[in-house]
Structure 1
Amino acid sequence: MSSYSWEPTPFGQDMRQHFYFAPGYRNLNHGSFGTSPRAILDRTNALRDECESNPCPFIKYRFPELLDESRAAMSEFLGVPRSTIVFTSNATTGVNTVLRNITWNADGKDEIIQLDIIYGACGKTTRYICESNQQRVRTREVGFQYPEENSEIVSTFQKSIQKSKDEGFRPRVAIFDTISSNPGIRLPFKELAAICREEDVLSLVDAAHGIGQIDLNIPSRDPDFLVTNCHKWLYTPRGCAVFYVPARNQGMMRSTLPTSHGFVVRDTVEQQGNKKQEDFLQKKTEFETNFEFVGTTDNIAFLTIPAAIKWRQQVCGGEQKIQEYCTTLSKKGGVRVAEILGTRILEDNGHCMTNCSMINILLPLERPTSGTGSLVKCKDSTETRTITDWMQLALIEHWKTFMPIFPFQGRWWVRLSGQIYLDESDFEWAGWTLKAALENLEQETFV
């Protein structure tokens, strides 16, 4: 590893030396796919070289040893027993694992409670679960007019669960984010998990934007299931996510996706003898064994957890410094972008939604988000694009950046990410760049 990669470094411009960004590229969208420091990628490449030099010994024996080291490091980092955490490729896979392992009742009364800003792929997953189970389960969506105060979110969430019961349904599981994707806002997940415990509903926390951005404090929140991406805000390579399941619920997680070698078949008379021998040899729980080897996939990223945690401590000064810098930069930078555009940020009165490293700014774009006038016909070609694609491609082609542009509640918004390699000048630049892009957009033909 390069020696400079582990030296303490000030946040902002100086921190960029640790990343592989192309000259002139400004990464204002860390939230979507993350990025990894050179030192962590060096570690990744070294592990991959070790694997390729001795594939079978590494995959069969060395990988499980290193995986246990990663799980031990993550156990200490999160403050939970090592036996309660395994790794999977991403948060969506973890959500799928939970929902596809639940056995739904045949009477058609089961419900999945979800917020109206559920992540798109997870929303599609719940629809698939309903379809594949022939409507034995259905979803109940909890909607809001954002920005909304935490107290109202909590109250409405609880009322929705009660309404489900009052109407004769059975709310089985509730899925909600720590920080949602679009818009990127922090939610009162601790309070929502507490309501689930009170109402005897399983809580499934989609913390895709959790670890590395906020303190998850899992022991005090005590969710039934939680999955969080390490490749976003913790700086590991893609794809790496922690899947947390407390001991009380591990029996429900019968299989990984796909079912692999770690699956333990329910006991039959013929299997009792073999089961006793397996128990004698097995030093891990069925849950741990199930997720240890899931087919031949490239899970080297799982093994970089110790290096990523060390890098954050040694180079950045630890979690508190990272979180404070990124959250403050996101808020101040977002306010400045809104000033340049003459609009506002998406923020509640209690400033709870913006207590994270992502910020949403309203665009001064008076165009419909669907239907007539929402598509752009490009002047230089016969191609027709959505406003989202037109803006995002223009930002890539002309300004060497990417900013998520999305419709929300009948208006157009942009989501920006605060990060250790950015400073206020990057947000100043983002504001003027968006203003120029929007002026160019208005000169196009809308259809």
Structure 2
Amino acid sequence: MVAKQALMPLRSSKQVEDPLNDIRKLKTIECGAAARAHFAFPDGYRNLNHGSFGTYPSAIRSNFHKFADLSEERPDAFIRYDYPRLLDESRKAIADFVHAPVDACVLISNATTGINIVLRNLVFKPGDVIIYFATIYGACGKTISYITETTPAESRQVEYTYPISDDALCSAFEDVIKNIKAQGKNPRLATYDTIASLPGVRMPFERLTALCKDHGIFSLIDAAHSVGGIPIDLGKLDPDAYVTNLHKWLFVPRGCALFYVPVRNQHVMRSTLPTSHGFVPQPTGDASAAQINPLPPGKNTAYIENYKFLGTLDNSPYLCVPAAIEWRKKLTWQGKHGEVAIYGYLEDLAQKAGKIVSTKLGTDILDNDEHSLTKCFFNNVRLPLDYQQDAGGDFATAVTIAQWMSRVLVEEYDTFMAFLVHGDTWWVRLSAQIYLVEADFEWSADILEKLCARVEEGEWKKTR
């Protein structure tokens, strides 16, 4: 008689260990040199460009690896049953953080994906116009170009050059709206930043959103630089769609972004990108066309369930949102704690960095009279180069010079700073972060001075 094999006990998905235990045990961390010790930077490396790709502390890295390990130990059990529950916990954490209904919040890979989801879901008709701003992020601008090539939609740009006042920018926006309507066309959607990327300046996104409401325009906010860097209240802002990277300023591993669409607009966002199992096709009357979803049924709305599984990917970063928010509570600065300390330190250091570098270079900061452009974690300083003399007045040549400077920073100085050409002028974008101090920007100012001297000597031409 063959002995029966003992059955393994059933494993409840709730048995996944609380991922926040280790973080809750941490002591407080003062912004600056003490905070740097919690990141993986090697000695001598200065991470002066946090804004492009972000990074995250060691405690979050451990959290990230735990989830990756769990998905490998029992792939089906974790991905099918544990992951959806943990994902809901992450959605709840970020929804509370930005003061939004949890049913309006899903997680996706990055902000550009969110912009694409909105633009590719809307059905454009002849006469519909997409409005965008002159400093739009390049990938988003190209997405609009693609949409206008493949649909009846047209596009219009709000033209300006920084520095510009918030009043003037909003007036320029309204002028474009009026011109579109005067042509008998429909300003269907406007997309704009919270904080533009290049140059790194704060836009009056609250006022632009209000103007969209006044004119019946769908507001699509590219908030790639926002959550974790400035306070955000989506309940108060109430845009039609909003997407923000969490791997930049919130300290979540890459790539992870919050995609916020209020319930009133979710019926328009029918497909994820890529389209996956949660998509609900229009009824055709052909039952044979129905597709079976191989994943366990969920308890959320159809819209939320649609974003639960977009193909086999490592979505461990999505599960690190609660840990990142918890870790941030440990940070202190000038007697302040948590978010208040972080926002205060970032803006204060960005202001000081701008003064340090502009004073060293004998130039100025990119700001308007109201100083609204610099109310964030970025500052932009003009480089002491002559557009006509050093680049022959040619934009492409100026970009080549900027690219040469970028490579030299990496290869010779073991750092990186973002350069841009705006208004026939070279600028450097300074990116403050909790692990940086004033001495880092004093060092960078010395490097920039030497680098500009090398440009003036024509060294960049030798390596073309």
TM-score, normalised by the number of residues in structure 2: 0.89
The aligned counterpart of 1:217 is: 233
Is residue 2:431 matched to residue 1:438? Answer: no
Alignment partner, residue 193 of structure 1: 209
CA separation in 2, counterparts of 1:127 and 1:169?
18
Give the whole-Å Cα distance in 1 for the aligned partners of 2:305 and 2:144.
Answer: 27
1-structure distance, mates of 2:444, 2:198:
18
Equivalent positions of 1:4-403 (< 5 A) are 6-105=26-125, 107=126, 109-133=127-151, 136-269=152-285, 283-316=299-332, 317-368=337-388, 386-403=400-417
In 1, Cα distance between equivalents of 2:234 and 2:171: 22
Q: Provide the residue aligned with 2:14 in structure 1.
A: none
Please give the alpha-carbon distance, in whole angstroms, between the structure 2 residues aligned to 1:197 and 1:30: 33
177 and 372 in structure 1: CA distance in 2 versus 1, 3 angstrom threshold = closer
Distance 1:282 1:49, change over 3 A: closer
What letter matches 1:206 in structure 2? D
Residue 407 of structure 2 aligns to which amino acid in structure 1? L
Instruction: Check whether the contact 1:359–1:416 (CA below 8 A) recurs between aligned residues.
Output: yes
AA aligned to 1:120 is G
Q: Which amino acid aligns with 1:212?
A: G
2:6 alignment partner in structure 1: none
- Superposition deviation, residue 446 in structure 1: 6.1
Deviation at 1:265, TM superposition (A): 1.6
Contact 1:6 1:39 in 2 (8 A): no
Q: Distance in 1 between matches of 2:134 and 2:394?
A: 25
Residue by residue, what CA displacement relative to the aligned partner does 1:305-360 show, whole Å, maximum 9, x if unpaired?
00000000124431111001001100111111000000001001111000000010
Contact 2:367 2:373 in 1 (8 A): yes
Among 409, 424, 428, the residue aligned to 2:438: 424
Q: Which amino acid aligns with 1:125?
A: T
1:195 counterpart letter in structure 2: L
Distance 1:445 1:420, change over 3 A: closer
CA distance in 2, matches of 1:408, 1:93: 26
- Secondary structure class of the residue paired with 2:321: helix
| Partner secondary structure for residue 329 of structure 1 | helix
Letter in 1 for 2:404: W
SS of residue paired to 2:247:
helix
Deviation at 1:74, TM superposition (A): 0.9
Q: What is the Cα-based RMSD across aligned positions, in Å?
A: 2.3
Q: Secondary structure at the match of 2:37?
A: helix
Offset from partner CA, 1:86-117 (integer Å, 9 cap, x none): 01100000000000000011x3x111000000
Secondary structure at 1:414's aligned position in 2?
strand
SS at match of 2:267: helix
Q: How many equivalent pairs are there?
A: 432
> C-alpha offsets along residues 116-140 of structure 1, whole Å, 9 cap, x if unaligned?
000000000000111122xx11110
* Cα separation, 2, equivalents of 1:242 and 1:360: 27
Deviation (angstroms), 1:50 = 0.7
Aligned to 2:10: none
Give the whole-Å Cα distance in 2 for the aligned partners of 1:241 and 1:414.
26
CA deviation after TM superposition for structure 1 residue 282, in Å: 5.5
Distance 2:320 2:359 in 1: 40
**Separation in 2, partners of 1:291, 1:385:** 39
Q: Is the 8 A contact 2:130 2:187 kept in 1?
A: yes
Question: What is the letter of the counterpart of residue 285 of structure 1?
Answer: T
Compared CA separation, residues 3 and 174, structure 1 to 2 (3 A): closer
Structure 1 residues 374 and 266, CA, compared in 2 at 3 Å: closer, same or farther? closer
Q: Contact (CA 8 Å) 2:181, 2:187: kept in 1 or not?
A: yes
TM-score (norm 1): 0.92
Contact 1:28 1:403 in 2 (8 A): yes
Native 8 Å contact 1:32 1:232 kept in 2: yes
CA distance in 1, matches of 2:396, 2:123: 43
Asked if structure 2 preserves the Cα contact closer than 8 Å seen for 1:175 and 1:205, the reply is yes
Q: Deviations over 1:412-440 (max 9, x none)?
A: 11001111111111111111110011122
1:50 is paired with a residue whose SS is: helix
SS of aligned partner of 2:387? coil
Closer/same/farther in 2, CA of residues 327 and 55 from structure 1, 3 Å limit: same
Q: What do the CA deviations read for 1:169-225 (whole angstroms, capped 9, x no partner)?
A: 111100000000000000010110111111010000000001001112111111000
The residue matched to 1:144 in structure 2 has which SS? coil
Contact 1:405 1:415 in 2 (8 A): yes
CA contact (8 A) 1:85 1:245 kept: yes
How far, CA to CA, are the matches of 2:143 and 2:396 in structure 1? 28
Gaps of 5+ in 1: 276-280, 377-383
CA contact (8 A) 1:312 1:319 kept: yes
Structure 1 residue 442: deviation in Å?
Answer: 2.3
- Identity %, equivalent residues: 45
**Structure 2: which amino acid aligns with 1:322?**
I
Unaligned runs of 5+ in 2: 1-20, 292-296
Distance in 2 separating the partners of 1:223 and 1:370: 42
Shift of 1:160: 1.1
Taking the aligned partners of 1:13 and 1:315, their CA distance within structure 2 comes to: 12
Structure 1 residues 446 and 26: alpha-carbon distance in aligned structure 2, compared to 1, 3 A threshold = closer
**CA distance in structure 2 between the partners assigned to 1:10 and 1:335 by the alignment:** 23
- Residues 389-408 of structure 1 show CA distances to partners (whole Å, capped at 9, x for unaligned) of 21111111221110111111
